[in-house]
Amino acid sequence: MIPYDAITDFQVLTSEDHELFRKVVRQFVERYLEPRVKEIEETNSIPRDLFKLAAENGFMGLGIPEEYGGQGSDYLNVVIYTEEVSRVCPAFSTATLARGLFTTPVLFFGTEQQKRNYIPPLARGQKFAAHATTEPGAGSDVAGVKTRAVRKDGGWVINGQKYFITGADKADYFVVLARTSDPPSRHERWRGLTMFIVERDNPGLRVGERIQVTGLKGSMPSEVILNDCWVSDDAVLGELGEGFKVAMTTYDYGRVGIAAQAVGVLQGVFEKSLNYAAQRVAFERPILAFQAIQFYLAEMLRDLEAARLLTYWAAHLLNKGLDERSIIAASLAKLFATEAAERASLRAIEIHGGMGVAIDGMVERFLRDTQIMKIYEGTSEIQRLVVIRHLVRKVLGFEV
């Protein structure tokens, strides 16, 4: 059972309400989103009316308590939504849920005033938000952030450059990680970082170039530049010098969302591959009759259901609270699901043959999307480190 304590730790509790919600999302996806996927891919832009429709359906308020205008904090609903949308368009799930990287730290570490100011407009879909931590020289190494905030005029002046910031092009609010004091030692580099809330119209903040990446067309990240950007003490999110903890908590929750994206990709490529194999004829037989194709599909289904169970399980544990168990489960889910989605996408291309590599075939895009899923919210290598470090800490009681 190590590192878990009891069989009950492996429960996944779903209800009829979860299934009804899934059907609502599926209806939205098939009616409004799926017919626009080719347009999104070709223009590398998501039409604004789709965001409005998502807000009208309450999808922008997922994971947010009702007292702040959301649909409730059940994380399994977030996973179900992400999975269903990503079955067709992973970029849209990224674009609509990127605000979770803002709402999560504010809900967990923010003051009541910060929650009241920023969360309701996001839950209603009236505003967008982004999480600005990554820098050209600080990705997986969050403690390597070079952006600095110094005391001035009763507040803080922030200077630095953020890179690969998802949703920055639309964001009205940002959480920004900056160094407010030097670390006490080389082994405590994570100390002295502070998270700030910065509004888009704040003088000194500028959203720079849109960075063209290989996947998730329609949800390109951007550069964010802070040049003598002054904020008041009210902008500090959480405790001064404890920004690393704020960031890590955010990623522990965000990783399950990425796992759910990967599950959606697995479902999408499996369905496309099964249907194509049943219809495509070669040597006077449907290619589904060939054992090689049968094995491919069986392996894809194996990975799909294993990834879904891991992801739902991690979401259930997160609903119960953030601890060693849920952190390990979240990293396991992201690690397995994203790598499985990559394997399945490659198999789908092979099953589709020439159509698999044709842009108009709408299959190869899933492989491009999985490359980003394996990287953001912590690379596969980082997930392995998270798992082993929390495992050793919980079971053996020391750090590695």
pLDDT tens digits, residue range 47-84?
Answer: 999 999 999 999 999 999 999 999 998 999 999 999 99
* Residue 1 belongs to some domain of the structure: no
Same structural domain, 169 and 275: no
Q: Is the pLDDT of residue 1 over 80?
A: no
Report the C-alpha gap between 71 and 3 in whole angstroms: 33
Same structural domain, 27 and 133: no
pLDDT tens digits, residue range 242-253?
Answer: 999 999 999 999
Percent of all residues in the chain with a pLDDT value above 70, rounded to a whole number: 100
> Containing domain of residue 342, as a range?
245-395
pLDDT, mean of residues 259-269: 98
Same structural domain, 252 and 391: yes
Q: State which amino acid sits at residue 117.
A: N
pTM score of the predicted model: 0.96
- 377 labelled catalytic: yes
pLDDT tens digits, residue range 113-162?
Answer: 999 999 999 999 999 999 999 999 988 899 999 999 999 998 999 999 99
| Per annotation, catalytic residue among 364, 377, 381, 399 | 377
Q: Across the chain, what does the average pLDDT equal? A: 96
pLDDT at 185: 87
Same structural domain, 138 and 57: no
* Residue 260 belongs to some domain of the structure: yes
Q: Is the pLDDT of residue 388 over 80?
A: yes
* Residue 2 belongs to some domain of the structure: no
Give the residue from 105, 123, 141 where a domain finishes: 123
